[in-house]
Amino acid sequence: MDNVTDHHENRLDRTGRRDDAVRAAVEQGWLGPDTPIVGLLDVTGIRESAAELRAAFDAVVAPGTPVLHAFAVKATPLVPVLRLLRDEGIGAEVASPGELALARAAGLSPARTVLDSPAKTPAELREALALGIAVNADNPQELDRIDGLMRSAISRSPIGIRVNPQVGGGSIEATSTATATSKFGVALRDEGAREWVVRAYAVRPWLTRLHAHTGSQGIPLELMAQGTAELFALAEEINRRLGRPQIDTIDIGGGLPVNFGSDATTPTYAQYARVLREAVPGLFDGRYGLVTEFGRSLLAKHGTVVARVEYAKSAGGRPVAVTHAGVQVATRTVYVPQSWPLRIAAYDGKGRPKEGPEVVQDVAGPACFAGDLLAEGRALPLLEQGDHAAALDTGAYYFAHHYAYNSLARPGIYGFTPDGAGGVAFATVREPQSLDEIVAESGGAHASALTTLRTPGRP
């Protein structure tokens, strides 16, 4: 375990930076009556997490081992975030043409980009191989397509196969990728699958990687390590049976869970690296290069959604704060609250932490359905009109994953750092979406498309 003082100081720094940023966002007018919701990103915190990730694996690998930490772009698909991570030595794991475009816009080189996804089209594969991006084939049909492309052109792309070690799920079904019937990868324990994989490598000398992602939020570290142990054992078996070290790189995926219960980072990358070294010592002895694909654990704790309380009311005796943050920025939390609870922090109208006795209340969003609640029956200082509610730990899979219910606008996102003079400096990461953009994305250019499409024989 990391020592308690570390956690404590970490928490205080992080909490203090966030409190300063919320107050400064109100003072500087980023957040106000006309812009009642913003996303804030703690640049200092993101850099710290990236450095912790690098240090954790540097501490366990043999000197000289090539290690690529590829950030899972789906966690926070924002170009300035990818550029910041690039600056910290972190690459990109992409899973769609859109994510690849974002990584390229951020300046990620093909050598630091990995393409995984269960539904790659021939065009996507062709582009990835032409660029020299690493590709993990999900299934035999995809490998067939890659065979065809490899026959017609020379590619520098390192290529691997994704396997599903089928070690089981965690506490959240939807993010468990290593169940018996998961849609991802080659299901390794199915009849004949292991033999098929070995044979696939035997006849393709250019297959040099092996990949698994054992799951995201809700998977215990021991289960993640077990998935990696299965992966390593397979790589060893293939190389042994082929009589050559053909697999030279193992991609262990991401999935480190995030603590949504406090400001502490737990578990840490260092803990996970130690669990892995215990469970799979051979993985780090220098014979294999390593790729990791962490997403949530790099960004979650560094993002905050802050929303104004538009109205404070009461229903059936329960206080309800009607805010501007709901299902559009916290979709999973609103639809599956028991799996994705979020901490809410109360700030006053000036953006200062709100004091006062805790009152059980609902924190509601702006969408027009009854279940649009960020938190239900939560004990907090009473939120009043003009106060602010902050949804914490929302830097990954939240405000960058807008859900267009009620045509609610995507909020602006701003990165912040201390300005060195006691204040806070902000930078725009993403502009708030304008009404013109909403109309354009909603068929505005085709307003008469349906009225001019006449059914024959009708007036």
Ligand X SMILES: *Cc1c(COP(=O)(O)O)cnc(C)c1O
Give the footprint of ligand X on this chain (CB under 6 A): 72, 74-75, 93, 116, 213, 216-217, 253-256, 293-297
- Provide φ and ψ at 266, rounded to 5°: -160, 130
Helix, strand, coil shares, percent, the chain, to 5? 35, 20, 40
* Residue whose C-beta lies closest to ligand X: 295
Between 289 and 412, name the residue whose CB sits nearer to ligand X: 289
Between 24 and 102, name the residue whose CB sits nearer to ligand X: 102
Between 126 and 296, name the residue whose CB sits nearer to ligand X: 296
Q: Which residues make Cβ contacts (< 8 Å) with residue 177, sequence separation at least 6?
A: 164, 184, 185, 213, 214, 215, 216
Between 296 and 308, name the residue whose CB sits nearer to ligand X: 296
**What is the smallest separation between the CB atom of 66 and ligand X, expressed in angstroms?**
19
Q: Which residues make Cβ contacts (< 8 Å) with residue 337, sequence separation at least 6?
A: 373, 376
**What is the smallest separation between the CB atom of 46 and ligand X, expressed in angstroms?**
14
User: Dihedral of CA 314/315/319/322: which sign?
Assistant: negative
CA angle (444 as vertex; 442, 448 as ends), nearest 5: 120
**What is the smallest separation between the CB atom of 123 and ligand X, expressed in angstroms?**
21
**What is the smallest separation between the CB atom of 68 and ligand X, expressed in angstroms?**
13
**What is the smallest separation between the CB atom of 116 and ligand X, expressed in angstroms?**
4
State the DSSP H helix or E strand holding residue 310, giving kind and residue range, or none if neither. strand 303-315
Between 14 and 296, name the residue whose CB sits nearer to ligand X: 296
How far apart are alpha carbons 138 and 163 in whole angstroms? Answer: 7
Between 213 and 354, name the residue whose CB sits nearer to ligand X: 213
Between 23 and 74, name the residue whose CB sits nearer to ligand X: 74
| Cβ count near 156 (within 10 Å) | 12
How far apart are alpha carbons 372 and 236 in whole angstroms? Answer: 50
Between 116 and 362, name the residue whose CB sits nearer to ligand X: 116
Cα separation values, 339 from 50, 172, 175, 218, 441, Å: 26, 7, 10, 9, 31
Between 46 and 309, name the residue whose CB sits nearer to ligand X: 46
**What is the smallest separation between the CB atom of 373 and ligand X, expressed in angstroms?**
25
**Tokens in use for 224?**
């993640």
The candidate with the shortest Cα–Cα distance to 312, out of 372, 243, 253, 362, is 362
**What is the smallest separation between the CB atom of 211 and ligand X, expressed in angstroms?**
8
**What is the smallest separation between the CB atom of 298 and ligand X, expressed in angstroms?**
8
**What is the smallest separation between the CB atom of 361 and ligand X, expressed in angstroms?**
31
How far does the chain reach from its first CA to its final CA, in angstroms?
76
**Tokens in use for 93?**
């794991």
